[in-house]
Amino acid sequence: MRKASIFSHQLEVLIFDRKIVTMQQMIRTLGGTTRMTVFRKLRSFDYRSSYSHWGKYYTLVELAEFNEYGIWSWKGVHFSRYGTLMETLESLVCSAEAGYYSDELREVVQVRTKDALLELWHQGKILRESVWNRYLYLSPRDYEDQISRRRLLETQQREQSQDAQDSILPEERLREEFLKFLSSLNEKQRRWYVALESLKMGRGGDRRMAELTGMDVKTIARGREELRRHDVTPERVRETGAGRHRMEKKTK
């Protein structure tokens, strides 16, 4: 009896020290005992095996800091308050207000869910329904309420997305048309026009127009100065001496 108590204490110290342990680590700690002996000692604790890494790791419930979904991860190893992956998925689906899509569940549990969900569906533990061309997994007991909430939620999200898109698109189209118009002007005309728009904006206009058009702030300031001096004759695009030097034919 005393030896059994010592073994249990050694196991508890090991797990508290490492937080998660493997079967081989527990066997070595108990002096090379068998797996069955380790499992007998574990039964005296409230423990969980990982649902990731093929159940290779073990921890104590009192050490796990489960999140709102009943999931705890330590160094990339995942544990569930509910036990195995299938038990976890069943619990999540059946307690959800609006069911779950597989990608949503994958985000929660951080492992592949497709095979486990398919097996749960075959066993009749969860249901599934096609919503917007995706399978929504539902509770056999509350599936009608869940699917109604999901349809309402998705309709609201689509409406909000459309409203946001409608408010953005006109502004984007206006910017595209503005840039298209600029591209039809010559160098001086672009400089003057952008400078004029900058003047309309007031303080910070040069910087904002530079961000919009990609023009240099100094170029816009130069255009503004030319407008101030009424130096807006369009005959010459570049000033005298600007641009590439003329190539002269060399003679021997």
Domain spans in the chain, listed from the N-terminal domain onward? 1-81, 84-170, 185-236
Identify the pLDDT of residue 113: 94
| Residue 92 pLDDT > 50 | yes
3 against 86, higher pLDDT: 86
Share of the chain above pLDDT 70, in %: 84
In the predicted model, what is the mean pLDDT of the chain? 84
Q: Average of pLDDT values for 133-150?
A: 90
| Burial class of 21 by CB neighbour count within 10 A (0 to 12, 13 to 18, 19+) | buried
Residue with tokens 């502004």: 171
| Residue 237 pLDDT > 50 | no
Q: What is the distance between the alpha carbons of residues 188 and 173, in angstroms, rounded to a whole number?
A: 25
The answer to whether 1-81 and 84-170 have equal CATH topology is yes
Give helix then strand counts, H and E, for the chain.
10, 8
Query: Cα-flanking dihedrals φ and ψ of residue 33, to 5°?
Result: -75, 180
| Residue 238 pLDDT > 90 | no
| 84-170: CATH architecture | Orthogonal Bundle (1.10)
* pTM, 2 dp: 0.61
Identify the pLDDT of residue 233: 66
| Residue 93 pLDDT > 50 | yes
Q: What is the distance between the alpha carbons of residues 246 and 88, in angstroms, rounded to a whole number?
A: 78
214 against 247, higher pLDDT: 214
| Burial class of 8 by CB neighbour count within 10 A (0 to 12, 13 to 18, 19+) | middle
Identify the pLDDT of residue 185: 87
pLDDT tens-digit series, residues 25-62 = 999 988 878 889 888 888 888 999 999 999 999 999 99
Q: What is the CATH number of domain 1-81?
A: 1.10.10
Kindly indicate the confidence band of residue 64, based on its pLDDT and cuts at 50, 70 and 90: very high
